Amino acid sequence: MQKSLKPFPPKDAPGLVGALRSATADLHQAVERLPVMTRLTAAAADLADYRRYLSAMALVYGGLEPGLFAALTAGLSRQWVAALGVRPKYPALCADLEVNGLSVPAKVPMVVVTPADGTPGSLGTALGGLYVLEGATLGGRLIVRQLRRQLGGQLIGASFLDFHGDQAAAAWKGFSGALEGLAMAQFVVSEQSIVGARAVFGQVYRILAEVDMSPCEA
């Protein structure tokens, strides 16, 4: 990773978000150290590195988002869903793949995140999983800035990495504030969210670790 990227983990936060951050910091760091990510964030990153990453992330989000969003909408009122401000990122990934001349996966196997008590797709678990997929936008914004510096106009189709654009900090504030509100209203048991967040990070790790790093045409 280049020095210009902020170090992870960021400053400790109280509450559920702080608990999720501490409980997943080891997995976040393990993901950051995978070859596909170190290449993406290296000074010498090229289009092939970016395209490898995009294809892998499509498998991550394509597999996870349907189950997580289904649990969210089944378990929460529209007002709470709106307060969280989350929307699926898989369509942005598909658009980026297409712009980059890459094929969209025909069918991504759906992954259901199961909490310790065996209840599939519980709300608390899904919220922990969404914390991971939403939080990725924070690092994503830093990565896309660096890629733009490195690749200039060659970098096309970056709507996933730059999902919230200039609103990234505001979107995170909204999401994490709503998450804390749900915890205070006792909609979420933090242990279940941690299980969900760790399971989702584990899935992210497995998919990114399998990326073929042999040279390919950009």
Interface residues with ligand HEM (CB under 6 A) are 1, 5-6, 8, 10, 17, 21, 28, 31-32, 37, 41, 131-133, 135-136, 138-139, 142, 204
Taking the least distance from each CB to ligand HEM, the nearer of 136 and 188 is 136
> Which token pair is 83?
């307060």
Minimal distance in Å, beta carbon 25 to ligand HEM?
8
- Please state the closest distance from residue 137 (CB atom) to ligand HEM, in A: 8
Q: Which helix (H) or strand (E) holds 36?
A: helix 35-40
User: 15 in the Ramachandran plot: left (φ > 0), alpha (ψ -120 to 50) or beta?
Assistant: left
Minimum CB separation of residue 168 from ligand HEM in Å reads 8
Considering beta carbons, is residue 111 or 142 the nearer one to ligand HEM?
142
Residue of 50, 60, 138 lying closest to 96 (CA atoms): 50
Residue with CB nearest ligand HEM? 135
Identify the sign of the CA torsion 158, 160, 166, 169.
negative
Between 33 and 77, CB nearer to ligand HEM: 33
CB of 167 to ligand HEM, least distance (A): 13
**How many whole angstroms separate alpha carbon 114 and alpha carbon 124?**
11
Nearest approach, Cβ of residue 53 and ligand HEM (Å): 9
Query: Which residue's CB is nearer to ligand HEM, number 67 or number 135?
Result: 135
Nearer to ligand HEM, 32 or 104 (CB): 32
**CA nearest 41: which of 7, 15, 69, 12?**
7
Nearest to 146 by CA among 38, 65, 58, 74: 38
